[in-house]
A and B are shown apart, each in its own frame.
Chain A
Amino acid sequence: MMKDNRIEERTVDMDMTETKISARNVQVYYGETHAIRDVDVDILDKTVTAFIGPSGCGKSTFLRCLNRMNDTIPICRVEGTILLDGEDIYDKRVDPVQLRARVGMVFQKPNPFPKSIYDNVAYGPRIHGLARSKAELDDIVEKSLRRAALWSEAKDRLDQPGTGLSGGQQQRLCIARAVATEPEVLLMDEPCSALDPIATAQVEELIDELRRDYSVVIVTHSMQQAARVSQKTAFFHLGSLVEFGETGEIFTNPQDPRTESYITGRIG
């Protein structure tokens, strides 16, 4: 049913891309709770990977493993190996701060800083010294806001607080903020959950555009969205990775009965 031309087309160029992140045998515990079990995933460069699955199955948890955001949760423990460009990101010598600059993240709940819209977007470029002059910074801010489809709404109120925006605008602000840092991998946790169809289409366009240079991982509850934007899809269920493969394959010809019942709406 979802097997349209775009999916066919995309699968072709995929063989040329290489593995960006490779996770093996990942386990995550919150105290006693075993939230992620035995997950093996390869995230390809210049590819959009979608994580789908019922609420509470561990999509956000696994996503947070990929840039070590779980370090900020004291009770959280991660086991297994996750390689970024062949380097173990959980190695003692790796600086999580450096890692997060390379692997950016858009959170499930919009979390703008209590600063102006401009300062929100300029935050990452400033701390990483990406702009040499004010004009360059202005450029980065404008470009990022345009990419996140927020420019037309925000351009006249750049000095107003980001917390004063609507929920959907805040989410796009967070996307702009993440894009401004130019990460190699962008993790997006339900980036469109508060957006209207137009803004959603714009964000999807952005994701498609980002794919040219970066690798994108997106968590979504919308099957249509996963089918539209991603080339690879991973289906999680109760903390395990049930099925992982070409998006077209997963949606047209799922191997596991659980995947099939989920995408046809029978569990979730």
Chain B
Amino acid sequence: MTVGLILLIVLAIALSGYVLGRRRSLRMVGGDIRKLHSLPGFYGQSVLIFAAVPALLVMLGWMLLQPPLVDRHVARLITEADIAEGSSRDLVMSDVRRIADGLDQMMAAENLSEDALQALDAGDSDIRAKLGNVGIALGSDVRSAVFEAAKVYRDSAATGRTLMTLAVIGLALTGAVFGYLRIAPEYRARNVAETSVKALLILSSFVAVLTTVGIVLSLLFESLHFFRLYPAREFFFNLTWNPQFRGGSDLGIFPLLWGTLYVSFVALVFAVPVGLMAAIYLAEYASKPVRAVAKPLIEILAGIPTIVYGLFALITIGPLLRDYFAQPLGLGASSSSVMTAGLVMGIMLIPFVSSLSDDVINAVPQAVRDGSYGLGATQSETIRQVILPAALPGIVGAILLAASRAIGETMIVVMGAGAAAKLSLNPFEAMTTITVKIVSQLTGDTEFASPETLVAFALGLSLFVVTLGLNVIALYVVRKYREQYE
């Protein structure tokens, strides 16, 4: 039976459990729900939970555990002698699995019976050709032992699946009956529902946490792998970035880190004052209608895909800066530059700064403003001396979030600043960032074995550490801000 079908059956059992449980609870008190501890729906729900949850958990566990167990069992059937020269047990096992998967199709195509399949021997019939006919292409002829192993594999998998079907459906039924019989007017079904809701919420947050941990761990392991091939000291202190796919590359993170920080710095220098002043205007000065129009308009900026910003950098800002600033000043002739990428990124960041700061400024209580006006302060005095200091931690939080955004940005940099890793102070020179280099090290079909590709993980990890640090600071500052008015 397929997994989908089993799921449907379990669901059907659980739903009927709900209906029956609800009805039973009502019948027990002769329709007077005031005599029940909980509303009838909760009794139905408790039966549903007893039917579905254990059965689904067992199914999940079974599906995770069965393949490795079957693998282990079958792998024992293959002796060293069955492993061809230059091959390995893993490769043979992957052949076994593919053959096992193909056997059903082969049986259908050749009109074989189950007995005929068992009798079939790889020694005296061309299994490779037969499998090839149904779309399973194998690299070499199938040895007898491998074919036998494939048959065992198929059998074990089928048996396992049957057992699982029986177990899961049996468990669902047992759970339903158990839950059904538990129903009594004084049974606290509502609390059972409450507990299960809590469990569901815990589970969800677990998924998020586990994903984060998983991502970090995989980055960490691949980076360790990289540092075994390439010295960490070189990675952090070498001042050149010059990957050679023939080997002997210089993989110093420094030029990339410099480019990242430089571009982000230019972006923030542009975005922070503009965004902050826009926020102050919107929060303190703008009339309701102006605000209703201007705020969404600014926020549209945040909705523009970064690739579109990249185009803007490439065809408008880049040539403009080159023709009117870089060339007349003798600072360079490249249209891709730190300045181009920084400016365009700054435009992208304006709504991040302004929207968050606007919220923070609005959160400063009106009573505090009144206090300042009541002492004869003007509006700008009030903003400078009372509102901004009060909102400062929140504003810093907004700026740090914008900074993490800037550091992680890729598209605008590729199109605006180019892809040349350089260490320079001239903002009109092309430079590049960590994210861009991660992309370019991983494009092209190389396997993850050389330091030139594995460096991407080390770069990713470094980037992650930088943005994580910024986010931690941002969270800390924002939390501190909250305490002030609570």
The chain A residues found within 8 Å of chain B, CB to CB, are 67, 69, 72, 74, 97-102, 104-105, 107, 109, 111-115, 123-124, 127-128, 163, 174, 177-178, 181
Is B390's CB under 8 angstroms from A69's CB? no
| B377-A97 in contact (CB<8A) | yes
One digit per residue, 1 when the CB lies within 8 angstroms of any chain A CB and 0 when it does not, for chain B 457-486 equals 000000000000000000000000000110
Can you name the residue of chain B whose Cβ is closest to the Cβ of A106? Answer: B374
Q: Are B376 and A69 in contact (CB under 8 A)?
A: no
Across the two chains, which residue of chain B brings its CB closest to A181?
A: B375
Task: Chain A residues near B372: list those with CB within 8 A.
Answer: 113, 123
11 A-B contacts, Cβ less than 8 Å apart? A67-B374, A97-B377, A97-B378, A101-B376, A107-B367, A113-B372, A115-B386, A115-B389, A124-B377, A127-B375, A181-B376
B373 within 8 A of A: yes
A113 contacts B368, C-beta separation under 8 Å: yes
The answer to whether A69 touches B373, judged by C-beta atoms less than 8 angstroms apart, is: yes
The answer on a CB contact under 8 Å between A72 and B373 is yes
Interface 0/1 of B377-395, CB less than 8 Å to A = 1100100011001100000
Distance (whole angstroms) from the CB of A239 to the closest CB of chain B? 22
Chain A min CB distance to B355 (Å): 22
- Give the residues in chain A near B375, CB-CB below 8 Å: 100-101, 104, 123-124, 127, 177-178, 181
- Tell me the nearest residue of chain A to B481, going by C-beta: A114
Residues of A within 8 A of B389 (CB): 114-115
A111-B376 contact in complex given A127-B381, A127-B385, A163-B484, C-beta closer than 8 Å: no
Whether B132 is near chain A, meaning CB under 8 Å from some CB there, is: no
B190 to chain A, nearest CB (A): 40
**How many CB-defined contacts (below 8 Å) exist between A and B?**
72
Is A69 in contact with B381, judged by CB distance below 8 angstroms?
Answer: no
Residues of A within 8 A of B390 (CB): 113-114
Contacts of A74 in B (CB 8 A): 288
Closest to A95 in B: B378
User: Given contacts A113-B386, A123-B385, are A128 and B376 in contact (CB under 8 A)?
Assistant: yes
Number of B interface residues in the complex (CB < 8 A): 22
B365, B371, B372, B375 pick with most chain A CB within 10 angstroms: B375
Judge if B370 is at the interface, Cβ distance under 8 Å: yes
Closest to B365 in A: A111
User: For the complex, what is the distance from the CA of A99 to the CA of B375, rounded to whole Å?
Assistant: 10
B369 at the interface (CB under 8 A from A): yes
Residue in chain A with minimal CB distance to B366: A72
A-B complex: 5 closest residue pairs judged by Cβ atoms: A101-B376, A111-B367, A105-B374, A111-B371, A100-B376
A127-B377, A127-B385 in contact; A111/B484 too (CB < 8 A)? no
Contact with A along B424-457 (1 / 0, CB 8 A): 0000000000000000000000000000000000
Residue of B nearest to A67 (CB): B374
A260 to B371, CA, bound (A): 35
Chain A contacts for B386, CB-based, 8 A: 113-115, 123
Q: Do A97 and B376 touch (CB < 8 A)?
A: yes
Taken together as a complex, chains A and B put the C-alpha atoms of A104 and B376 apart, in Å, by 8
Which residue on chain B has the smallest CB distance to residue A128?
B376
Closest Cβ of chain B: how far from A69's Cβ, in Å? 6
A72 to B378, CA, bound (A): 12
The answer to whether B371 touches A107, judged by C-beta atoms less than 8 angstroms apart, is: yes
What is the 8 Å Cβ interface bit string for chain B, positions 120-138, against chain A (1 contact, 0 not)?
A: 0000000000000000000
For B485, the chain A residues whose CB sits under 8 A away are 163
The chain B residue sitting closest to A124, CB to CB, is: B375
**B residues 344-372 touching A (CB-CB < 8 Å):** 365-372
Q: Which residue on chain A has the smallest CB distance to residue B377?
A: A127
A177 to B385, CA, bound (A): 15
Instruction: Check B370–A107 contact: CB distance below 8 A.
Output: yes
Q: Are A114 and B370 in contact (CB under 8 A)?
A: no
**CA of A114 to CA of B392 in the docked complex: distance in angstroms?**
11
In the complex the two chains form, what is the Cα distance from A61 to B365 in whole Å?
19
- Look across to chain B and name the residue whose beta carbon is closest to the beta carbon of A109: B367
C-alpha gap A115/B389 in the complex (Å): 8
User: Within the complex, which residue of B369, B371, B374, B381 is in contact with A112, where a contact is CB–CB below 8 Å?
Assistant: B371
Which of chain B's residues has its CB closest to A113's CB? B386
Q: In whole angstroms, what is the CA distance A99 to B376 when docked?
A: 7
Known: A69-B373, A127-B385, A163-B484. A111 touches B378 (CB 8 A): no
Are A72 and B370 touching (Cβ within 8 A)? yes
A114 touches B385 (CB 8 A): no
Closest A residue to B484 by beta carbon equals A114
Q: Which residues of B contact A177 (CB under 8 A)?
A: 371, 375
